[in-house]
Amino acid sequence: MLGSRGPRTLSWMVLSLLVLLLPLACKPHSKPAEESSSSNPSTENAELTRKMEEKAADIRSKEEEIRNMQGTDEEKAEAVKKLDAERQELIEMQDKAK
60-91 per-position pLDDT tens digit: 999 999 999 998 989 999 999 999 999 999 99
Q: Could you give the residue ranges of the DSSP H alpha helices within 1-98?
A: 2-26, 31-37, 39-67, 73-97
- In angstroms, the Cα distances linking 7 to 2, 21, 72, 84, 85 are 9, 21, 100, 83, 81
Residue 45: is its pLDDT beyond 90?
Answer: no
Our count of domains for the chain comes to 1
Query: Is 35 inside a domain boundary?
Result: no
Percentage of the chain modeled with pLDDT above 90: 37
Is the separation of the CB atoms in 93 and 48 below 8 Å?
Answer: yes
Residue 76 lies in a domain: yes
Structural domain contains residue 33: no
* 11 pLDDT higher than 80: no
Task: Identify the domain containing residue 81 by its residue range.
Answer: 2-25+41-97
pLDDT over threshold 90, residue 23? no
The structure's pTM equals: 0.55
* pLDDT score of 37: 46
